[in-house]
Amino acid sequence: MHTATVPRYHLYGENDRADDFDFFHIETIRTRSAPLGWSLDAHSHIHLFQCLMITAGEGRLTDDTGERRIAPDTIVFTPPGVVHGWEFTPDTQGYVVSFTHDYLAGSDDGRDLVRLLAGQGESNHLVVPSGDDRLKICRYLQEMAEEFENGKRRRLVFRPLMTLLLARMFAGAEEAGELDAAPGFSLFRFRALVDTHFRSERTPEFYASEMGMPVARLNRYCRLFTDRTAAQSIRDRIVLEAKRQLAFSSLPVSEIAYDLGFDDPAYFSRVFRKDTGESPQDFRNRQKA
């Protein structure tokens, strides 16, 4: 299965990227699958991590390794860019959680989990939680789904529950070696490096050197999984941080520019407008509205 021939979506069947910033979404398996005959063709998500948990019924996961039967109480963790397709038995129950890495990185505990997720490579991972953890995970999912369904979609409500959910999912994973990273390049290692150094290091050459590979290979993998070059990915991270500070802080635009390593706030504003189509202040006003 070649990723270049597989459709890439935001959520399945949707290509609108307007909500890629600080994005969180949860729905039942039934919501999207039942209208489609309980079948989702092979696809990938450019920017989203997904966690799918079946609580009743069963599914058949298709990916680069072939087909696997997924029994109840199994969680499938899918990193961005990883191909997956689903066939569910009718009336399968469970949840699908989708989120961007910047959403999770909004807290200290979340940043630690991002580093763990960054090591999971480019494949789907199956997690079978223990009895106690399974009950807690089901409760977290139910609480988040009910809040989300009722329209209470405040980011701060879901973030701590999401952090607890992932901590339960991956408890002991690092020590047990249950989730081996795929060999070779990891897009998520690149993102972790960018998260650490984007204020001071903005050239693909720096990151390629840190990862022990030529810039051409780094660009090739970035394009494969995100349709972006390494340089564009670095700029995306800078703009993301700008959006975060504009949306969630009261710092003046000039201070945000200096914090992000810009000597000239006017140049920062031009960069921001070029990438987003609006000025930093207009973006802030829209977020506060």
CA gyration radius for the chain?
Answer: 19
Q: What is the pLDDT of residue 114?
A: 63
The predicted structure's pLDDT at residue 129 = 82
89, 131 contact by CB (below 8 A) = no
- Res 107: pLDDT: 58
Looking at the fold, whether 50 and 191 belong to one and the same domain comes out as: no
Q: Is residue 66 part of a domain?
A: yes
Domain assignment present for residue 158? The answer is yes
Is the residue at 182 inside a domain? no
Q: What is the pLDDT of residue 55?
A: 95
Residues 17 and 130 in one domain: yes
216: domain range?
A: 187-288
Q: Which of 175, 198, 228 marks a domain boundary?
A: 175
pTM for this prediction: 0.66
Judgement on whether residues 118 and 192 belong to the same structural domain of the protein: no
Taken in order 75, 52, 78, 163, the sign of the CA dihedral is negative
The CATH code of the domain that includes 88 is: 2.60.120.280
Q: Does 180 reside within a domain?
A: no
Q: Does residue 273 fall inside a structural domain?
A: yes
Do 44 and 154 belong together in one domain?
Answer: yes
58 and 89 Cβ atoms separated by less than 8 Å = yes
CA distances to 2, 54, 137, 197 from 96, in Å: 24, 9, 13, 32
**One domain, residues 90 and 126:** yes
Claim to verify: residue 85 and residue 139 sit in the same structural domain: yes
Total number of domains in the chain: 2
Residue 272 domain-assigned (yes or no): yes
CATH code of 257's domain:
1.10.10.60
- The pLDDT, as a whole number, for residue 232 is 93
- Of 144, 175, 206, the residue at which a domain comes to its end is 175
The b-or-e profile of 36-71 (16+ CB within 10 A means b, else e) is eebebebebbbbbbbbbbbbebebebbbeeeeeebe
Per the listing, tokens 């780094």 go with 218
Concatenated DSSP letters for 249-272? Answer: ----HHHHHHHTT-S-HHHHHHHH
Q: Does 260 share its domain with 138?
A: no
218 and 164 both lie in a single domain: no
- Structural domain includes residue 232: yes
Which pLDDT score, from 0 to 100, does residue 133 have? 82
Q: What is the number of other CB atoms lying within 10 angstroms of the CB of residue 280?
A: 24
Shared domain check, 221 and 163: no
Is 21 inside any structural domain? yes
14 & 140 share domain: yes
Does one domain contain both 80 and 206? no
- Among residues 175, 203, 227, which one ends one of the domains? 175
Same-domain check for residues 166 and 44? yes
pLDDT means over runs of 10, the chain (289 residues): 71 71 88 96 88 95 88 89 93 93 66 61 77 85 85 65 74 41 53 88 94 88 78 92 89 96 96 94 87
